[in-house]
Amino acid sequence: MKHTKIKALLETSEVGEKVIVKGWVRAFRSNRFIQINDGSTINNIQAVIEYENFDEAILKKISTAAAVEVQGTLIESQGKGQSVEIAVENVQILGEANPDEVQKTVMQPKKHSLEFLREQAHLRFRTNTFGAVFRIRHGLTFAIHKFFNDKGYYNLHTPILTSSDAEGAGEMFHVTNFDLNNVPKTEDGKVDYSKDFFDKPVNLTVSGQLEAELGALALGQVYTFGPTFRAENSNTSRHLAEFWMIEPEVAFNDLKDNMDLTEEFLKYLSNYILDHYADDLQFLNDRDAQEQKAKPEKDRNPLTLIERLQFVANNDFKRITYTEAIEILRNSKPFKKKKFKYDVDWGVDLHSEHERYLVEKEFNCPVIITDYPAEIKAFYMRQNDDGKTVAAMDVLFPGIGEIVGGSQREERMDVLKKKCADFNIDEKEVWWYLDSRKFGTVPHAGFGLGFERMVMFATGMTNIRDVIPFPRTPGNADF
Ligand code: 4AD
Ligand code: MG
């Protein structure tokens, strides 16, 4: 007899089979019914014991959170909501859990606030919500690799330590191997960061894009999927200091191809979760429905979580230019009634209140905004013929905001050098990037998907701290 995972057992085992299950007790009722979960699925298996046949000392140790191994025969279940259960012949305690201690944790079976769950990030894996979230997070990871592999893309590992600030936003974490008792100083007495890494400046990467471009200009189509770091001190529900990003980069693609790829990709991911994670999704769907009910009516999402995924999977995204977006916003009610906090004028960056208006009020569907003013976007974006805008695109999702940012890249050396000058970027620092425009340069394009924002969309979780196992936010890095 071998140890079976509960998921496999529920899917393929038959009544009469002898089984061994190992997992953690979720609840033990009436000295008879043990609910066991082993993480393979949101569903528990019920193990039924005839307590007269078991040692009192063992029964006492079967309590919430304890680890157990049960051996028995699969029988048809009498209870509602489950098809089979285990008639237990043998039970062993693998790891005890003190009930008084358990009571103080998120494992105590009752509704806990997400704040409390965050304080116990080391234990929240044991809850239904976080089990479901992290299984779906895995499902998305797998689907991302599958999507690109099936299309003939190559996964490229780009460096985490780098001296480049790809986005030019200056939000980098410095990394040093300084002897802290002997920190190198510049002539005017400041810390000399140019000596960070054995005499080179170095930081944690903000994006693997520039390196991915080099890969794409040889391998044709590549994608990165790695951790990225931003030292922005923003305590919002959508920003992390350490987040994961997927960055495809494709030679010979223009902005339209880039939009088509993004749309196909996000539809694929939505479908994948609908098709492969039905149980977890149903649980999160019900959870989301409760959360929606608790909100004032005007803030409720009329679609359920499952309907939102179906909507993305089956409907075209709306595509508009930045200039059109500004037009729409300036003609909107909140603008006319001075309800927006930030000004709307051609040339300013859109704030989340504007993005939310466009996706949630004006269009009520995912929106791709293209062709932003050059000044508010990164140096590498391809200049349009109007001389004012660049071939950029942001994808906005209802309830999430910006989920993807991307562009066609500037492949023309002379224009790129001028952009470096405009953005105050020393050509010597990006010589390797400029070099790629010297040898067979071609149009190419790519984008970055914020992985956690996709997980938020697929799970209905509304705080980004609740979709990554160990969130890194200002002041939060213990474990
Ligand atoms: O728009 P961003 O900054 O674009 C880039 O980094 C480009 N190099 C991508 C590319 O073209 N290859 O970031 C891309 C996405 C955003 O749309 C957002 O979803 C996510 O990454 N993101 C964050 N997610 C969590 N926390 C943060 N602090 C994030 N900053 C960006
Ligand atoms: Mg962006």
Domains of the chain: 6-104 (2.40.50.140), 128-171+206-317+365-466 (3.30.930.10)
Q: Which atom of ligand 1 is nearest to the CA of 404?
A: 17
Separation in Å, CA 109 to CA 23, 35, 117, 126, 127: 16, 11, 13, 10, 8
Q: Mean pLDDT check: name the lowest of 39-48, 107-116, 175-184, 400-409.
A: 175-184
Ligand nearest to the CA of 237: 1
Sorted by sequence, the CB contacts under 8 Å of residue 270 that are 6+ apart come out as: 309, 310, 312, 313, 458
pLDDT of residue 170: 80
Q: Is the pLDDT of residue 198 over 80?
A: no
- Pick the residue whose CA is nearest to atom 23 on ligand 1: 450
Cα 55 to ligand 1 centre (Å) = 57
Distance CA 353, CA 226 (A): 29
Banded pLDDT at 1 (limits 50, 70, 90): confident
Share of the chain above pLDDT 90, in %: 85
The atom number, within ligand 1, closest to the CA of 169 reads 3
User: What residue owns the CA closest to ligand 1's atom 15?
Assistant: 450
pLDDT of residue 439 exceeding 90, the answer is yes
Residue 168: pLDDT band (50, 70, 90) is confident
Nearest atom in ligand 1 to 234's CA = 28
Backbone angles phi, psi at 66, to 5 degrees: -65, 150
* Ligand with minimal distance to 209 CA: 1
Output the pLDDT for position 298: 86
What is the pLDDT, as a whole number, of residue 166?
A: 83
Residue whose CA lies nearest to ligand 1 atom number 22? 450
pLDDT at residue 76 tops 90? yes
Residue nearest to atom 25 of ligand 1 (CA): 239
Q: What are the pLDDT digits (tens) for 383-415?
A: 999 999 999 999 999 999 999 999 999 999 999
Taking CB atoms within 8 Å and a gap of at least 24, the contacts of 119-123 are 121/469, 121/470, 121/471, 121/479, 122/479
Residue nearest to atom 2 of ligand 1 (CA): 405
Tokens matching residue 69? 């191994």
pLDDT at 247: 98
Q: Would the pLDDT of 354 be above 90? A: yes
Residue type, 239: H
Q: Which ligand 1 atom lies nearest to the CA of residue 239? A: 26
**Closest ligand 1 atom, CA of 212?**
12
Residue with the two structure tokens 């509960």: 6
- Closest alpha carbon to 321 in 263, 277, 384, 261: 384
Q: Which of 23, 43, 266 is nearest to 135 (CA)?
A: 43
Own/partner contacts of 435-441, CB < 8 Å, gap of 24 or more, are 436/213, 436/214, 436/217, 437/411, 437/412, 437/413, 438/413, 440/217, 441/217, 441/411, 441/412, 441/413
Identify the nearest ligand to the CA of 171 by its number.
Answer: 1
Query: What does the pLDDT look like over 25-75, one tens digit per residue?
Result: 999 999 999 999 999 999 999 999 998 889 999 999 999 999 999 999 999
Q: Is the pLDDT of residue 478 over 90?
A: no
Query: Rounded to the nearest whole angstrom, what is the distance from the C-alpha of residue 445 to the centroid of ligand 2?
Result: 15
CB atoms within 10 A of CB 92: 13
- Per-residue pLDDT for 79 more than 80? no
Task: Output the ligand 1 site: residues, CB below 6 A.
Answer: 166-167, 207, 209, 230, 232, 239-240, 243, 245, 247, 402-407, 446-448, 450, 452-453
Confidence of residue 197 (pLDDT cuts 50, 70, 90): confident
Confidence of residue 377 (pLDDT cuts 50, 70, 90): very high
Pocket test for ligand 1, best of 246, 453, 473 (most atoms within 8 A of CB): 453
What are 195's two structure tokens?
A: 């000596």
Q: Ligand 1: distance of its center to the CA of 450 in Å?
A: 5
Structure-derived torsion over alpha carbons of residues 259, 264, 267, 268, reported in degrees to the nearest 10: -140
- CA distances to 184, 250, 284, 442 from 452, rounded to whole Å, are 38, 23, 16, 32
pLDDT for the residue numbered 13: 86
Which residue's CA lies nearest to atom 30 of ligand 1? Answer: 239
CB atoms within 10 A of CB 75: 14
Q: What is the pLDDT of residue 312?
A: 98
Average the pLDDT over 320-328 and give the result.
98
Distance 245 CA to ligand 2 centre (A): 12
Looking at the DSSP assignment, which residues form a beta bridge with residue 28? 34
The answer to whether the CB of 46 falls within 8 A of the CB of 81 is no
pLDDT of 474: 83
- Do residues 442 and 288 touch, judged by C-beta distance below 8 A? no
Mean pLDDT score, 96-104: 97
**Closest ligand (CA of 235):** 1
Q: Categorize the per-residue pLDDT at 144 as very low, low, confident or very high, splitting at 50, 70 and 90.
A: very high
Protein residue with its CA nearest to atom 9 in ligand 1: 448
**Pocket-testing residue among 225, 238, 245, ligand 1, by greatest number of atoms within 8 A of Cβ:** 245
The model's pLDDT over 258-302, given as tens digits with 9 standing for 90+, comes to: 999 999 999 999 999 999 999 999 999 999 999 999 999 988 999
Structure tokens at 282: 């149903």
Element (H, E) at 268: helix 255-276
Q: For residue 16, what pLDDT is reported?
A: 95
Q: What is the mean pLDDT of residues 445-473?
A: 97
Closest CA to ligand 1's atom 17: 404
Q: How far is the CA of 454 from the centre of ligand 1 (A)?
A: 12
Residue 251 CA to residue 362 CA, distance in Å, equals: 34
Please determine, for residue 183, whether its predicted confidence score (pLDDT) is greater than 90.
no
Average pLDDT of the residues of the chain: 95
Which residues in 157-211 belong to E strands, given as ranges? 161-162, 203-204
Lowest mean pLDDT among 284-293, 320-329, 332-341, 467-476: 467-476
pLDDT at 332: 97
Closest ligand 1 atom number to CA of residue 454: 19
| Alpha-carbon radius of gyration of the chain | 27
Ligand located closest to 447 CA: 1
> In a mutational test of the pocket of ligand 1, which residue from 221, 243, 472 has the highest number of ligand atoms less than 8 Å from its CB?
243
Q: Inform me whether the pLDDT recorded for 81 exceeds 80.
A: no
Higher pLDDT, 20 or 473: 20
